[in-house]
Amino acid sequence: MPGFELFGPEERKHINDVMETGILMRYGFDGPRKGVWKSKELEAAICARLGCGYTQLTSSGTSALTTALACLGIGAGDEVIMPTFTFVASFESVLSVGAIPVLTDVDDTLTLAPEAVRRAISPRTKCVMPVHMCGAMADLDALMHICNEHNLILLEDACQSFGAKYKGRALGTVGHAGTFSFDFVKTITCGEGGAVITNDKALYLKCDGYTDHGHDHAGVDRGADTHPFIGYNYRISELHAAIGLAQIGKLDQFLAIQKKNHSALKAMLSTIPEIAFRRIPDAEGDTHTFLSWFLPTEAIARAVVAELRQQNVLAGNFYWFDNNWHYFRKWDHLRQAATLNNLNEDQRKALLSLKPEAFPASDAVLSRCVSTAIGLGWTEAQTTEKGEKIVAAVRKVLAREKALV
């Protein structure tokens, strides 16, 4: 899955271009950098690849989300509908702009359930933020319909799904804005990095300034820039952008390998009638970074996970229901409002009202789900071996369950 599996001479070449100038910062130092602008090149490459008008690189996916939310005008008192299954950065970014995360059930797409979104809307709702988890997409037609009906912003958290498409359109380009992460374990990586994409020039210009202390970047002298609004330092470095520039050139290769390995593994697991698979609203648009599969009950899923651990093949197989970082059930620090600084009162009340048992529909999905990360470096023999071991573990557990009946 992660692009770092196939690091090579392309990354070294782009890094060396930067090192030869010694200019690691993305802005200024026009003369000494000798025409080397890796961040600008990567932004242009992302626009070309995804078919969007504007890209603003950031230091991380988290800062990309924070930037997008702030520049979309979302702040104190506003509610942002988001899924119970995501990465903690989703709610961190909402809290960072003073807004209130409204956690909402997911369905068998592993993304926001549209009807749950509809039920969660209140007079304070300003934004719906689907998270395209594990390389595939939410039901964007349904979510966009809801947003249009209620005059809400649709912000796509596509941090885990760079290169995925929905009905021919790149994820991130369907809503008002989209965000990506290029951290070390993403499909393409910068080591650390992120991006906001949009087709709205006014929004892009806000993002451009917001990520660099409010600089307007209007002239050729950085020191003479004016500051139309307060911003922060969410800049990417030229070294990180250089890695990403090499990686985006390999994206088609990565996606082809993942699809091949994903298809082979799915074919093997499909021989077990008791296994069902994640519903993907547009299967052709999947990046195939994960194969997500469901077992009949939580008890059977837990037994399979235990058997995979016993057979030393659990690595790369994720049981999200017990995961500290990705599912609401384990976010004790969120429910306890455990921050180092004071939250605003609306945020504090909203977090303290969250209950561990509040999302039975999400529990019913995640408690039965295992997601297998698809390796870029797997040989055909390794893919077959992994599939055989998973199938053997599942069959062993199912046979044991049948014997108990």
- Cα separation, 50 vs 43, in Å, equals 11
Tokens of 144: 């966009």
Alpha-carbon distances of 200 from 72, 93, 197, 207, 230, rounded to whole Å:
11, 21, 9, 11, 20
Alpha-carbon distances of 131 from 51, 113, 128, 160, rounded to whole Å:
20, 11, 10, 8
Given 165, 186, 250, 386, the catalytic residue: 186
Query: Does 186 participate in catalysis according to the annotation?
Result: yes
- Cα separation, 210 vs 46, in Å, equals 20
- Cα separation, 114 vs 109, in Å, equals 11
Closest to 87 (Cα-Cα) out of 134, 156, 143: 134
| Residue 62: its H or E element | helix 61-71
Closest to 273 (Cα-Cα) out of 293, 251, 253: 293
Other beta carbons less than 10 A from residue 48's beta carbon: 11
- Cα separation, 68 vs 112, in Å, equals 19
- Cα separation, 139 vs 269, in Å, equals 25
354, 335 in Cβ contact below 8 A? yes
Q: Catalytic residue numbers? A: 186
